[in-house]
Amino acid sequence: MVQAYLKNVMADTQNNSFVLIVGVRNSMNYLPIWIGSCEGMAILTRLKGTELPRPMTHDLLSSIIHGTDTTPNKLILTQASRGTYFALLFANRADGDILAIDIRPSDGIALAVREKFDIFIDDRIDTVDPVEQPEKHERLMGMFRPILPDDIP
């Protein structure tokens, strides 16, 4: 298992969606995860620090977790199957129990951005190495465009 972080959020101009670039700590490797526009905007507005008049779904999830005396402590991207990634959110309960909650990676990362807990990638998931896989890296980066500050509400 390797420690990771949200390196960037980009737009996939060919598929009209967002792509999370999850970087591997102490490495140039990364994992691109395609997500929906709602999840992408939820992450971007939090990263920009935009205060919204009403809570978003991920804010609600955070409130529920804390309201049950539970503290999220890590997200593990556990596996990939035919382009779909799976993740587990681990949370500590006040009574000492540890919960492992099945969660979509986009929702887990949106929560990690809010709650500031660690992200990990299971060793079974292949990441992109731009040095060892330059063609794949160039093809992927050709599909994405950076999100500009003016793109974020």
99-148 residue pLDDT tens: 999 999 999 999 999 999 999 999 999 999 999 999 999 988 888 877 75
Nearest to 58 by CA among 122, 95, 107, 102: 107
Length of the chain: 153
pLDDT at 116: 94
Q: Which residues of 42-51 are buried (b: 16+ CB within 10 A; e: fewer)?
A: bbbbbeeeee
pTM of the model: 0.89
Task: Pick left, alpha or beta for residue 59 (phi over 0 → left; psi -120 to 50 → alpha; otherwise beta).
Answer: alpha
- CATH number of the CATH domain containing 38: 3.10.690.10
Tally of domains in the chain: 1
pLDDT at 142: 85
* Domain enclosing residue 135, as ranges: 2-151
Average pLDDT over residues 78-103: 95
